[in-house]
Amino acid sequence: MGKSSVDEIRERFDNDVERFSTLAIGQTTTVDAVLAMDLIAQAASLVNPDARHVLDVGCGAGNYTLKLLQRQYDLDITLVDLSKPMLDRARQRVGEVTEGEVTTLQGDIRELDIGEERYDIILAAAVLHHLRDEPEWLHVFNKLYDALTPGGSLWVFDLVEHDNPAVQELMWKRYGEYLVDFKDEEFRKFVYGYIIKEDTPRSLLFQVDIMRKVGFTDPIVLHKNICYAAFGAIKPR
């Protein structure tokens, strides 16, 4: 069975805005969601304390930008998402807490023009796992690298696979247990269903290697638990 099309993924997110709109718990299907948001906001603020322009790729309802705005005020924010309802919610929530300019771009990051040397911080939470083959990964990481100002930073939180099949099986089982504990067996089946249908995650080490290939230096791993990881990298000055 082939993976979901972009239109199919967009439709699911159009109908699932509320689940992504609670800052106190973050995205409920991700492991350590609140910790990841806090770590990324803190790390981005420390690495780029004078940031003015932020790009949030796959922004959802805006949680990661909102966390960042608790530490750095009145930033100019560009929000990117496939889903118009998600963008509308993110713009409303973000606009309430920043006096900076809020811009929205609806579309696929693989195709959108996001410019060069425009952003001091780029956030990409639970979005890159929709990339497919290695050329797409290289293309998108290169695009994000080019969009950063010198000294700017990219921060990712995402579903990751494990290259060793036995370890991947172990982590997939533990993630299933996490989902059942969080809610119930039906919730596990629901989440597993759309991950299998929609997603093509890659390992943390694969993504770190891609970061280095496109020019980032000294990738930073903030946190990893089961099959989710928070990590980043800095563009050389």
pLDDT at 213 exceeding the cut of 90: yes
| CATH code: domain of residue 97 | 3.40.50.150
CB atoms within 10 A of CB 101: 12
Q: Residue 226 belongs to what domain range? A: 6-161+200-234
The structural domain count of the chain equals 1
The answer to whether residue 195 is domain-embedded is: no
Computed over every residue of the chain, the mean pLDDT equals: 92
- pLDDT tens for each residue of 25-64: 667 789 999 999 999 999 999 999 999 999 999 999 999 9
- pLDDT tens for each residue of 172-182: 999 999 999 99
Q: Which pLDDT does position 219 carry in this prediction?
A: 94
Residue with token string 């050329």: 135
The answer to whether residue 194 is domain-embedded is: no
The answer to whether residue 168 is domain-embedded is: no
The answer to whether residue 220 is domain-embedded is: yes
Strands 119-125 and 102-106: unpaired
Q: Are 228 and 30 in contact (CB under 8 A)?
A: yes
Q: Which pLDDT does position 5 carry in this prediction?
A: 80
The answer to whether residue 175 is domain-embedded is: no
